[in-house]
Structure 1
């Protein structure tokens, strides 16, 4: 290794007139784990875990080289970088969604109005299904009374009566599935608007404070 006391300019080879100048040698220097100042014309192995300076022949700092990482350390750094990027992306997406919410619902009244409309649409559809279910139940009750005459052997019932009875039961099953889906939609809508409201309240407060 070279010592700092060595004249840096002596590392440069004198050139005869007309010759192409050789590139200036790179001089690496660092303080190792024992506090010693080391110098070399190549990266210093004893300082691979710490910063090294690259000097110009004049002794000024040309560049700095960070620690050389092991494969495990590099993997950890890469994983942290990915996690940091994912977190920044999440925060930015959350802010974008907040801005969109404020544009769509500038005040509580706007949010409550859309909530009521969404629930009303589903409730009206549900009421239609309930009305149809009531009608079908009445039809089935009548058909059940007619089928009672053939209780001992339902296969002897007229084909048209059997067909009507099956159709009514199938229609009731369809309405039952519709009603279950409407109930699920109502829950989803309420959950969505409740979640939005929890996000919007602090946003509305921030806007109100900025105006005040």
Structure 2
């Protein structure tokens, strides 16, 4: 056999083997034939994944030789870790978008227009307003009591106050401070309610205008609301040292 003939046979051998293997497996229902080209250019076939080609793509053939699937190159541990991280991030983004879409659909179900949202805001603020009004009235009553105590204390100028009168002053001071603290809490809660409804309204206006549920990013969470509340309260707080002094 000449050199040329030997070279031709060597080149045809992988094809002959592939055809022979295909013919053998053609009689086996569902059989798979794997083929690949190694890094050094060799064409290999097998009835199972080929270890020599773990770093290159492998093609899975059907009995008739058509392509059934393609196996990507095996990944290194670092590549697998990076891919797993990427898949987790994608899954997290998909879950967040699904949550946002559910949130937006719920908003649209609850509030079909601005009027409905305004009514809900007013109802949420109503109890806070009433509680604040009661505390303001109580402060007014305490102020009148304090005036009477001050007038009575005038009789003891330069003398120690009687224990009973001193106790009445202490009780009045404590009650006044408690009411002021309660009013401060109620005012902060009113700010919180308004900010939450403002954030909802800003999102609803985009949804009413045609934005798709879930397309506006994640909805504001409790941390976002609290950050906005703290900023609003800080902006409205009086300068340090500006509060009027109290005392007898």
User: Cα–Cα, structure 1 residues 100 and 151, in superposed 2: closer, same or farther, change >3 Å?
Assistant: farther
Residues in 1 aligned to 2:195 and 2:120: alpha-carbon distance in whole angstroms: 14
Q: For residues 134-145 of structure 1, what are the structure 2 equivalents within 5 Å?
A: 134-145=140-151
Pick one of 184, 189, 208 that aligns with 1:185.
Answer: 189
SS at match of 2:43: strand
Task: State yes or no: 1:160 paired with 2:164.
Answer: yes
* Normalised TM-score (structure 1): 0.76
Q: Could you tell me how far 1:138 is from its partner in structure 2? A: 2.0
How far does the alpha carbon of each residue in 1:94-113 deviate from its partner, in whole angstroms, 9 at most, with x for none? 11111111111111111112
Q: Could you tell me how far 1:168 is from its partner in structure 2? A: 1.0
Q: For residues 120-131 of structure 1, what are the structure 2 equivalents within 5 Å?
A: 120-131=126-137
Moved more, 42-51 or 66-75: 42-51
In structure 2, the gaps of 5 or more residues are: 1-12, 212-248
Aligned residue pairs, count = 196
Residues in 1 aligned to 2:15 and 2:35: alpha-carbon distance in whole angstroms: 8
Moved more, 134-143 or 171-180: 134-143
* Normalised TM-score (structure 2): 0.66
In structure 1, the gaps of 5 or more residues are: 14-21, 208-212
Task: State yes or no: 1:9 paired with 2:20.
Answer: yes
Q: Which residue of structure 2 aligns with residue 16 of structure 1? A: none
1:115–1:193 contact (8 Å) kept in structure 2: yes
SS at match of 2:112: coil
Residues in 2 aligned to 1:49 and 1:93: alpha-carbon distance in whole angstroms: 39
